[in-house]
Chains A and B, each alone.
Chain A
Amino acid sequence: GENVEQHPSTLSVQEGDSAVIKCTYSDSASNYFPWYKQELGKGPQLIIDIRSNVGEKKDQRIAVTLNKTAKHFSLHITETQPEDSAVYFCAASQFNNAGNMLTFGGGTRLMVKP
Chain B
Amino acid sequence: DTAVSQTPKYLVTQMGNDKSIKCEQNLGHDTMYWYKQDSKKFLKIMFSYNNKELIINETVPNRFSPKSPDKAHLNLHINSLELGDSAVYFCASSPRRGGGEAYEQYFGPGTRLTVT
Q: When A46-B104, A49-B104 are in contact, do A97 and B43 touch as well, CB less than 8 Å?
A: no
- B residues in contact with A46, CB < 8 Å: 104-107
B45 touches A103 (CB 8 A): yes
Nearest-neighbour CB distance to chain B for A107, whole angstroms, equals 5
B101 touches A89 (CB 8 A): no
Interface segment, one of A14-22, A37-45, A55-63, A70-78 = A37-45
- A residues in contact with B55, CB < 8 Å: 97-99, 101
Cβ contacts B70-87/A at 8 Å (1 or 0 each)? 000000000000000000
User: B90 at the A/B interface (Cβ < 8 Å)?
Assistant: yes
A-B CB pair tally, cutoff 8 Å: 74
Q: When A87-B41, A99-B94, A101-B33 are in contact, do A34 and B100 touch as well, CB less than 8 Å?
A: no
- B residues in contact with A44, CB < 8 Å: 43, 90, 107
Interface size bracket, A side = 20 to 34
Q: When A43-B90, A44-B90 are in contact, do A100 and B106 touch as well, CB less than 8 Å?
A: no
Residue pairs across A and B with Cβ atoms less than 8 A apart, 15 shown, are A32-B101, A34-B104, A34-B105, A42-B109, A42-B110, A44-B90, A49-B104, A94-B102, A95-B97, A95-B100, A98-B48, A100-B102, A100-B105, A101-B33, A103-B45
Instruction: Give the 4 A-B CB pairs with smallest separation, nearest first.
Output: A100-B102, A32-B102, A43-B107, A99-B48
Q: Which residues of B contact A (CB under 8 A)?
A: 4, 31, 33, 35, 40-45, 48, 50, 55, 57, 90, 94, 97, 99-110
Q: Which residues of A contact B (CB under 8 A)?
A: 31-32, 34, 36, 38, 41-46, 49, 51, 87, 89, 93-95, 97-104, 106-107
